[in-house]
Structure 1
């Protein structure tokens, strides 16, 4: 098994570009901080791509870059290297595309306050959490805190953006090639932000912890609310991959099936498989990436299986939703 060889667009444009012809599989990658190769981020938490391993020699050109990674899906519009390498007139033919997207958008939606700076209310369809006066009955469990209208808005936004990305793929020589996305792991809301050298810009964290406090969600329910949101996202992504007509060639790996060591509630630093509140440390990335690698290689080799619509596989590593 060989680790994924990672290059950047700058490497391709350099005086001695890498010879991608020596690799069986050639992939293009783009994503959020889970893919970023900024030195500060790699020193701090981890890069999921670094832990991918394949039986056949595989390379990826990672457009997440050394600066701030994607904070929102719409940032694809300001990612010229990725768009050029995917759909440009001189774009190479890739065997697949690796994406780490949607998580930052989910966090942003959860952090949307109940009112604007001037005190005017923000409607439920534009946020994921409910004010205490809007909570449902206790019989609804933690779903009582969750804004289904806001989720519908988020889901429509994500679906539209992924469709746009697939259309970009089909404008270039990689038309119809598989696009691989992962779900996210369930973070423990806690006061664990990024260090000052994490290069995460204004989003220094913590992220979910202050939002849940502001909305008055009881601390005993924080972990369950986080799980609810991440599982909603996982189901959304898997439903998209299952819709082959609307999302052709999309494969989603369910990271929520990979057992991880949870962070301790209230902890402020590295805990379990987590570096901070929303970023995995190296052990967490290792666990998810090794399972995802198997799913990716099965698709590349034409051996992928359709994930059952009911029931859960114990490991969830080798059956991506297709």
Structure 2
């Protein structure tokens, strides 16, 4: 098994870009949010999923995710000219597949939308409309019999789901405008983070202050986090099942990979997590090794059955 060879757009020779692809069976183009980030601090934490992908046949990827460590909108393609050029440009290579990390950071950012616009009326009359946020103000909570769903804004979720659905469809249309038309697009779901005061250098925490601001009881924080991540997983899997409107989309259910949860209240590395929303080496290893099998089965034309969770050995110890 060989690790995925990861390069950036800057590594492509200007005179003969295809030369970098020689010697590899699979050629992949990657774009995504902070789970694909090439920032030095992220790689030092072994938290880039691409670095832990392994294949039976040699594979390489051009990773356009960039150096950013902060939350990023993967679907903001105006800030991703290299990805668009390498996908649709006149001299773009034919990629065997695309690797996308989509929706996780957008979900976190949507959850962070406050109940009130800063500086505006803090009374219930001054609330931001429910369809523009994922959490409900305390005055809007449902009955306790609803469980943690009482805190969740279904109208806000529909807004987010429509946004993500539209942008994924746009990404697939870009694929079909270039020489890689019809090639498989691989996406992953996300793991369920524990809301806790664990920041990265210069940013975060993310969910922890949000749930505090919304006065959600701390005993329910983990379940609220799970509710949101599972909503996203179900959305992504439903898109992959709709091959008429999302042709060639393949989604790996990362929520099915057992991970060690971070300890509530912990402020640093805990379990399989580097900080509140990013995996550490062991977490990346577990998800990436399972995702690798899913990807290679599709590339090889085999049925993409769910891969079992890998045992920790070798680089995963």
TM-score, structure 2 as length reference? 0.92
1:78 Cα offset (Å): 1.8
Provide the C-alpha distance between the structure 2 equivalents of 1:69 and 1:208, rounded to a whole number of angstroms: 14
2:295 maps to 1:289: no
What per-residue deviation string (whole Å, max 9, x for no partner) do you get for residues 144-191 of structure 1?
000000000000000000000000000000000000000000000000
Which residue matches 1:8?
Answer: 8
Provide the C-alpha distance between the structure 2 equivalents of 1:48 and 1:23, rounded to a whole number of angstroms: 20
Contact (CA 8 Å) 1:31, 1:99: kept in 2 or not? yes
Contact (CA 8 Å) 2:31, 2:74: kept in 1 or not? no
Contact (CA 8 Å) 2:115, 2:136: kept in 1 or not? yes
Provide the C-alpha distance between the structure 2 equivalents of 1:14 and 1:25, rounded to a whole number of angstroms: 21
1:14 Cα offset (Å): 5.5
Q: What pairs up with 1:166-177 in 2 under 5 angstroms?
A: 166-177=172-183
Between the two proteins, the alignment pairs up a number of residues equal to 304
Which residue matches 1:192?
Answer: 198
Provide the C-alpha distance between the structure 2 equivalents of 1:276 and 1:37, rounded to a whole number of angstroms: 17
| 187-196 or 151-160, which deviates more | 187-196
Contact (CA 8 Å) 2:92, 2:179: kept in 1 or not? yes
Contact (CA 8 Å) 1:4, 1:58: kept in 2 or not? yes
Provide the C-alpha distance between the structure 1 equivalents of 2:190 and 2:77, rounded to a whole number of angstroms: 20
Contact (CA 8 Å) 2:294, 2:304: kept in 1 or not? no
- Secondary structure in structure 1 of the residue aligned to 2:148: helix
Which residue matches 1:239?
Answer: 238
1:74 Cα offset (Å): 3.5
1:16 Cα offset (Å): 8.8
Which residue matches 2:184?
Answer: 178
Which residue matches 2:88?
Answer: 87
What per-residue deviation string (whole Å, max 9, x for no partner) do you get for residues 81-135 of structure 1?
0000011111110000000110011001100000112324210000000011100
Q: What pairs up with 1:1-322 in 2 under 5 angstroms?
A: 1-13=1-13, 19-68=20-69, 71-119=72-120, 120-196=126-202, 204-305=203-304, 315=309
**Structure 1 residues 258 and 23 mapped into 2: Cα distance closer, same or farther (>3 Å)?**
same
**Structure 1 residues 314 and 89 mapped into 2: Cα distance closer, same or farther (>3 Å)?**
closer
Contact (CA 8 Å) 1:45, 1:279: kept in 2 or not? no
TM-score, structure 1 as length reference? 0.91
Contact (CA 8 Å) 1:64, 1:70: kept in 2 or not? no
Q: Give the gaps of 5 or more residues in structure 1.
A: 197-203, 308-312, 317-322
Alpha-carbon RMSD across the aligned residues, in angstroms, is 1.7
Provide the C-alpha distance between the structure 2 equivalents of 1:125 and 1:287, rounded to a whole number of angstroms: 36
